[in-house]
Structure 1
Amino acid sequence: MNNPEKRKEQLAAFDKLLTIMDELREKCPWDRKQTIESLRHLTIEETFELSDAILNNDLEEISKELGDILLHIVFYARLGDEKKAFDIGKVIGQLNEKLIRRHPHIYGDISADDEEAVKQNWEKIKLKEKGNTSVLGGVPRSLPALIKAMRIQEKARGVGFDWEEKQQVWAKVEEEMGEFRENFDATDEVPVNKEEATKEFGDLLFSLINYSRFIGVNPEEALEKTNRKFIYRFQYLENAAKASGKTLGDMSLEEMDTYWEAAKNEEKNK
């Protein structure tokens, strides 16, 4: 239930932000110089900083990074207002209308008893809104490939094009793995056809991402956790080597593996 006093404080804080934005745009040399185009790369950077805070589960940092992104939204809206194209009221108004339109199970007479039904309704409504000739037309071309694969699969599922059981998806993973192994056997000394290997490896990755979706694992998050795990262990290895008066280049693979195992054990004991 809404707390009237809290809502009043929130609106006052947002009003103050809009006032500050106006003042910065009019008085600060840096803020006066910015354009929609010049802010773009900064917004991308802020988004990744928020992502880092989320991965670190640092709630205080998440709050700060959300503030930075909110500043960018308000900044874009101010620039849009100067061009007489849109302002913050229009931005929020369009969002409100879209949320109501895409939640007919809340604001209309459509039934959606679970998360999957909500997602399917969302994709169907979105397809009509954007006038795309393809269900996949709304997937941004510039998305990183792994995230793009997830979105492609989710959108296809939204219109019913998907596997029925996770066992079917795993069978596809094994099929793709078998094809890759058959064509690019690690024991074969014949030079690899990189173009063909790239295609087959892409098929294998796509099927693994599909399986992760079926078991409720976010592949982007899973890979990032593995990246961080590797970084921790490798830096442990570097520090251990330095403490013993060596560099990694001076050590044998067997010596490095000893420290690597020690890093794994330390992780487990944390």
Structure 2
Amino acid sequence: MASIDNLLTIMATLRDPNHGCDWDKAQTFASIVPHTLEEAHEVADAIERKNWSDLKDELGDLLFQIVFYSQLGREQHRFDFDDVVSAVCDKLTRRHPHVFGPKDADGKPLSSPDWEDIKAQERAEKMPSTQSCSLLDGVTQGLPALTRAHKLQKRCARAGFDWPTVAPVIEKVREELEEVEHELAQTPVDASRVEDEVGDLLFAVVNVARHLGTDAEQALRAANQKFERRFRGVENQLRDNGKNIQQCQLDELESAWQAVKKDE
């Protein structure tokens, strides 16, 4: 706990009205959100690279973001770091009744966990009595779009609003792709309609991933990395042959791309 106390003291000093850092003193809850998102992505990047030294540093940076929010909360008399820790401890014990709940004489839990039901109850308790509840309450707007699509679909599936197999989901992807093509065939092309149909196509693809037990966000991150690796391979191959990629024809680029794929 000494290390945490030291970090909290450093944060309070950075925000000190008289002796603190001008940049830190100028920050608000809203202004540090982009930094929090960036740090979370850097944590994910370090894990994907299996760079454990970087991961240690990035986790520290992410922890600092939490400490920063907690300091702002303390200054505004809303909450402090201890409140944040207490809240997550309460949540973890509440959501794991099979671990922290009562046991029978043989030490077996008397209840089994149902995270979605527990979370639904938590959302209902937070909801004003005058406001109607929805299964979609609590699916955060700020999530990456692919992740949020997955969560929305998963919530609806719990209510039975879902296809029983993957086949009609794949057919839906074909249908949405045809609608994109239909909009592209119009004269003139309505860019807003194309965007709308492309959004439907992406949503349908996420649904395929969900039915197959694949995380769409992670799958796309992996696809990005694969594309980047192969494109860099194309650049290196052309450079080794004394060629400038920007001066090559498409068929030559495609040939190099296929060669890189084959080498993998």
Question: What is aligned with 2:13?
Answer: 23
Distance in 1 of aligned mates of 2:25 and 2:125: 35
1:122 matches 2:98 = no
How far does residue 218 in structure 1 lie from its aligned partner after superposition?
Answer: 0.8
The Cα shift of 1:149 comes to 0.2
On the 8 A contact 2:173/2:205 being kept in 1, the answer is: no
Cα shift at 1:49:
1.4
- Whether the aligned pair in 1 keeps the contact of 2:36 and 2:65 (CA below 8 Å) is yes
Residues 246 and 186 of structure 1, relative CA distance in 2, 3 Å threshold:
farther
1:8 paired residue number: none
CA offsets 1:229-266 (integer angstroms, 9 cap, x no match): 11122222223223323222322222212211222133
Q: CA deviation at 1:192?
A: 5.2
Alpha-carbon distance in structure 2 between the residues aligned to 1:144 and 1:97:
27
Equivalent runs, 1:12-161 vs 2, <5 Å: 12-26=2-16, 27-30=19-22, 31-108=24-101, 111-112=111-112, 118-131=114-127, 133-157=133-157, 159-161=158-160
Quote the residue 2:229 is aligned against: 232
Rounded to whole Å, the distance in 1 between the matches of 2:153 and 2:206 is: 9
- Maintained 8 Å contact 1:43/1:69: yes
* Contact residue 237 and residue 259 of structure 1 kept, 8 A: yes
Alignment equivalent of 2:166, drawn from 164, 169, 180 = 169
Structure 1 counterpart of 2:105: none
Unpaired runs of at least 5, structure 2: 103-109
- Give the deviation of 1:147 after TM superposition: 1.5
For residues 176-223 of structure 1, the C-alpha deviation after alignment (integer angstroms, 9 at most, x for no partner) is: 404633772699697655555444443333232122123221111111
Structure 1 counterpart SS, 2:111 = coil
C-alpha distance in 2 between matches for 1:164 and 1:126: 28
Compute the RMSD of aligned alpha carbons: 2.9
Task: Summarize the Cα distance change of 1:153–1:236 in structure 2 as closer, same or farther, 3 Å threshold.
Answer: same
Instruction: Give me the whole-angstrom Cα distance separating, in 2, the residues matched to 1:77 and 1:197.
Output: 43
Confirm or deny: 8 A CA contact 1:184 1:192 kept in the other structure.
no
Structure 1 segments unaligned to the other structure (5+ residues): 1-10
- Work out the CA distance in 1 between the residues paired with 2:152 and 2:184: 35
8 Å Cα contact 1:123/1:155 also seen in 2: no
How many residues are paired up? 250
Return closer, same or farther for 1:49/1:175 CA change in 2, 3 Å cut-off. closer
For 2:247 and 2:241, how far apart are their aligned partners in 1?
A: 11
- Return the TM-score normalized by structure 2: 0.80
After superposing the two structures, state which structure 1 stretch, 242-251 or 84-93, moved more.
Answer: 242-251
CA distance in 1, matches of 2:54, 2:234: 29
Greater helix content: 1
Q: TM-score, normalised on structure 1?
A: 0.79
The more displaced of 217-226 and 101-110 is 101-110
Percent pairwise identity: 35
CA distance in 1 between partners of 2:183 and 2:83 (Å)? 58
Q: Aligned letter for 1:241?
A: L
